[in-house]
Amino acid sequence: MKKIHKVFIANRGEIARRIALGAQGLGIETAALYSGPAAPSFLQGLVTTLLKVDEESPALYLNGQKMVDFAKQSGCDAVHPGFGFLSESAAFASLVEESGLTWIGPSPKSISQMASKAEARLIAKKYNVPVVPGLEKMSNLDVNELVKSVHGFVKDHGFPILLKAAMGGGGKGMRIVRHLADIEESINRAQSEALNSFGDSTLIVERYVEHPRHIEVQIMGDQQGNVYALGDRDCSVQRRHQKVIEEAPAPGLSDETRRRMQESAVALAKAVGYYSAGTVEYIMDWAPEHRAKENFYFLEMNTRLQVEHPVTEQIFNEDLVAWQLRVAMGETLKDRINLVPQGHSIELRLYAEDSKNKFLPAPGPVYGFLPYSSQGIRWEAGIDAIDEVTPRFDPMIAKLIATGPTRKQAIKRLIEALKQSVLAMPISNASFLLGVLESTAFSDAQPTTRFLEDEAPALQAAEVLRRSKTDPLAEEIWQNLSSDLTVVPGSIASLTQAIFAKAKNLASSRIQFTNEVKASVPLRYGPRLSTMGRGFIEKNGQQTGFSFCSTSDRGAYIRWLNIDGETYFKVERRDESSTSGKSGAHAHEVIAPVPGKVVKILIEPGAKVSDKQTLMILESMKMEFEVLATRSGVISEILVQAGQQVQSDTMLALWQDPPEA
């Protein structure tokens, strides 16, 4: 049996933190990357060695050779890929092993066998795992042959059908087709997306299940050939084919269905000699007329740890990361891993995204993050007390997990945590998630993957009703968040907490602040000091809780409120006389029109500029944007530097009116 001494984590954010925690429990050291003036506080003191790089980017984390070089540079003898990036790359797993390092994951052969959805379907069928009727061998056909094959499939199985990329996921290269006239165009678009996203245009065709539930089985195997199923999870609440809420166990399934599903997952894993953690995913036909049959079909196998693994850990009381490390060192699972679940666990994915605008990413500053902790609450976070969500990576901020004896108790704990936490940023999905949790369509039923689409009108109506109750309270609380913040330099994300009780009685209400936290960070992250905490407002004999954050940024006072789960965000310019003269807000500020990187600064302090002159160039979403002067004037101060990442509406420079002739 070999011993792992130090693991390089080829990943970032909350994933790096999670892997480091699992290693720390076994006394194994770790190394990871960071960029910026200092390492994130959530990694300091947890990751043994933090290596600074000039810039973190997806390209960096997808460069297998660089990851191996960093591992060797930091004295590691093993590599854990986390989840995402290179975690399901058989080539990377082979490279790690060929470099003399231990790979924390399944064998390259197992990864390769399950990498193609088409190949995985064939293996599943061979071992009697149920699959949706479909066509797998679509790689060597031209468009005309593809169209002909799809026409034949439709003749046998009818519409709708699903085209999807054989080598990918996340909704890319996926098209639902309902009419003969749409087949050729749908094939062309699906192939194009598949090629651009995964480097392979191969498609598979399946009968589309109109009302599916997305159920998955967590498996764990060792190198002695033992494979076990650690229950099941429901991941049906999705947008853009990506998960938002996951829970274990999947509600509403019979014991017989669970048994058959878990046995088929184990059989598939054993068929490919699988060890380490993995997930076998299924869809269930949950249409009203088919629901009683509880038919399930193989979807794909993820040869890695999943984002939603904490809910399984919670109900089985096991550390899956630790087990990955133990298996890699040759330990056996037999008679050692717990296979008896208890209770119910639900995970929410908190995103910087706009639920009112097609769930599009909304990267930006995080002015304050103060997660609420209580019994049954677990956080997996990849941000500091003051931070920013960069447009370069996935916009997920944190995962909030609640566990209780029952599903209803877990939901109740999630609602409490959302209402009590501070996540002060312009846009997030926190209030949206609260609406889902409070919906009887979620709490009293088993949602399908159509849930967010079907329930959108009801969720919007419920939000309007909630806001009608909290809007008047927001106006009163706004007035009592002091704008007199002292901006002081401080250590990275240093937190000092003072429990206090200050109250103000108004004509018809009483506002009380029950605790306060101050956090300070360098100017790179925007504000230097934020004050955040919790309190309650009592109006007409009824108390309503709130959490808050107030902060100073250059030329602005920013306030954020969470009132009974509904969030509010307000930016107010300070006295404009010092910078804006008689011209009004923004007249003397150069503002970033988009989030991105400052690639060129074409001005300097004291420079005279004319109206429409190009002052800076930003790079965003692989395009360049010119920042233009809105009037003639003189540059008084430049607030950014080349190479700096900025958010939209960030002040880039200040200027003054030209001297009078």
Domain regions of the chain by residue span: 6-104, 133-207, 212-468, 473-573, 576-656
**Burial label, 279 (beta-carbon count in 10 A; 0-12, 13-18, 19+):** buried
Give the confidence band of 365 by pLDDT, cuts at 50, 70, 90. Answer: confident
pLDDT at 585: 37
pLDDT at 522: 58
User: What is the mean pLDDT of the segment spanning 58-74?
Assistant: 97
Helix, strand, coil percentages for the chain (3-state, nearest 5): 30, 35, 40
User: What is the mean pLDDT of the segment spanning 402-430?
Assistant: 96
So what CATH class is 133-207?
A: alpha beta
Nearest Cα residue to 306 out of 389, 392, 246, 260: 246
How far does Cα 235 stand from its chain's mean position?
14
Give the confidence band of 350 by pLDDT, cuts at 50, 70, 90. Answer: very high
Rounded CA-CA distance 145/182 in Å is 15
CATH architecture of 6-104: 3-Layer(aba) Sandwich (3.40)
pLDDT at 173: 83
User: What is the mean pLDDT of the segment spanning 473-496?
Assistant: 59
pLDDT tens column, 540-595: 889 999 999 988 765 677 889 999 999 998 877 654 433 333 333 344 788 887 67
When mean pLDDT is compared over 51-60, 477-486, 619-628, the highest value belongs to 51-60
pLDDT tens column, 109-131: 999 999 887 888 899 999 999 99
pLDDT tens column, 610-627: 988 999 998 765 557 788
Give the confidence band of 648 by pLDDT, cuts at 50, 70, 90. Answer: low
pLDDT at 554: 58
Which residues 6+ apart lie within 8 Å of 205 measured at CB? 134, 135, 138, 149, 150, 153, 161, 162, 163
Q: Which among 304, 326, 349, 528 is annotated as catalytic?
A: 304
Q: Is 326 a catalytic residue?
A: no
User: What is the mean pLDDT of the segment spanning 60-87?
Assistant: 97
Residue type at 460 in one-letter notation: Q
Length of the chain (residues):
661
pLDDT tens column, 4-44: 999 999 999 999 999 999 999 999 999 999 998 889 999 99
161: β partners? 177, 207
pLDDT tens column, 443-473: 999 999 999 999 999 999 999 999 999 999 9
- Mean predicted lDDT score pLDDT of the chain: 88
CATH number of the structural domain 212-468:
3.30.470.20
Nearest Cα residue to 400 out of 422, 424, 426, 425: 422
CATH number of the structural domain 576-656:
2.40.50.100
Q: φ and ψ at 149, to 5 degrees?
A: -65, -40
**Three-state DSSP state, 401:** strand
Residue found by looking up tokens 């042959």 in the block: 145
Rounded CA-CA distance 235/430 in Å is 18
pLDDT at 553: 65
pLDDT at 625: 72
Q: φ and ψ at 476, to 5 degrees?
A: -70, -40
pLDDT at 131: 93
Q: φ and ψ at 628, to 5 degrees?
A: -105, 150
Rounded CA-CA distance 21/15 in Å is 10
Give the confidence band of 493 by pLDDT, cuts at 50, 70, 90. Answer: very low
